[in-house]
Structure 1
């Protein structure tokens, strides 16, 4: 397993500077953020220059105001177009793929008004249709579209790894595990990882409190041993809040996680 860190967490004025810091701190790669309005495609020159300079950028985490599970058809359509573009770009860079939740912050069954404007069956139809389009585009570009489950307060459609696996209708649709969301939703995180292992393409890591690993109560030894036992050899990408200054806590975090690898 290799360590990555999201670009916004790392000090530096350019991707080259960020990567140099990340490597010195103990990371192997930078995880990119994919904003909307085709902003990510607008970075192609910057990204290609960074790639030529040796910056490792395997994955993109979507960073948009709306997603493929939005209740608004126009916003769903835009999210699909944005993700198609991001898949094309990461394909040009020789990366692994792009990850997205079904939605974020749109609705929770655990908070008022409790009744969503769309049925569970309609939710599934909407997501399956979007992922089908994106899966075909990903396949043509030699990359993956990766579905990330979020906790029940941030998303009402896909909360567990098993939920996400149920949408893997083609080889180019895969699953992202996030240790923070798993801590809330999975009865047994290690069992969930084991059962999802054939579909697991990427992992994002943060603590039970959403800060960096080592500041909460997650059993890192058990979860990382499970990933190793089932042959996961992808990235562990740091996506969290930092408790402390990045110059101090990022090297500490890399060292903490590497103790279990």
Structure 2
């Protein structure tokens, strides 16, 4: 397993400067953020230059106000088009793929009014259709589209690794786990990792409190041992809030995680 860190957490003006810091801090790669309005595609020249300079950028995490499970069909269509574009770009960079939740912040059954405007069967139909379109595009480009489960307060559709696995109808549709969301949703995170292993293509890491690993109560030894037992050899991407200055806490965090690898 290797460590990556999301670009917005790193000090530096350019990706080259950010990557130099990341390497010194103990990370191996940068996880990119894919904003909407085809912003990610406009960065292609910058990204290609960074790649030529040795910057390792294997994955993209979508960063938009609407997603493939949106209730609005116009916004849903836009999310699919944005992700298609991001898949094309990460393929040109020789990366692994793009990850997305079904939605974020759109609805929670745990908060009033408790019942969403769309039923579970239609939720599934909408998501399956979007992922099939993206899976086919990913296949043509030799990359992956990765579905990330979020916790029940942030997304009512896909909350567990097993639920995400149920959408993996093609080899190019895979699952991205997140230790923070798993801490809330999985009865047994280690068992869930082992059961999802054939479909698990990426992992994001943060603590029980959404800060950097080592500041909360997650059992990192157990979860990283489970990933090792599952044969996971992908990236552990740091996606969290930072408690402290990045120049201090990022090297500490990389050192903390590597103790268990």
Residue 230 of structure 1 and its aligned partner are, at CA, apart by: 1.3
For the residue of structure 2 that corresponds to 1:16, the secondary structure is helix
Match of 2:82 in 1: 82
Runs of at least 4 residues off by over 2 Å: none
**2: distance between equivalents of 1:46 and 1:37?**
17
Match of 1:95 in 2: 95
Match of 1:139 in 2: 139
Per-residue CA deviation, residues 117-142 of structure 1 (Å, 9 max, x unaligned), is 00000000000000000000000000
5+ unaligned residues in a row in structure 1: which ranges?
Answer: none
For the residue of structure 2 that corresponds to 1:22, the secondary structure is helix
Q: How many residues align?
A: 261
Match of 1:62 in 2: 62
Match of 2:51 in 1: 51
Match of 1:38 in 2: 38
**2: distance between equivalents of 1:226 and 1:110?**
30
**2: distance between equivalents of 1:227 and 1:213?**
16
**What is the RMSD computed on CA atoms of the aligned residues?**
0.2
5+ unaligned residues in a row in structure 2: which ranges?
Answer: none
Residue 32 of structure 1 and its aligned partner are, at CA, apart by: 0.0
Match of 1:125 in 2: 125
Match of 1:247 in 2: 247
**2: distance between equivalents of 1:228 and 1:115?**
39
Match of 1:237 in 2: 237
Residue 251 of structure 1 and its aligned partner are, at CA, apart by: 0.1
* Residues 20-39 of structure 1: pairs in structure 2 closer than 5 A: 20-39=20-39
Match of 2:174 in 1: 174
TM-score by length of 1: 1.00
For the residue of structure 2 that corresponds to 1:139, the secondary structure is helix
**2: distance between equivalents of 1:212 and 1:179?**
11
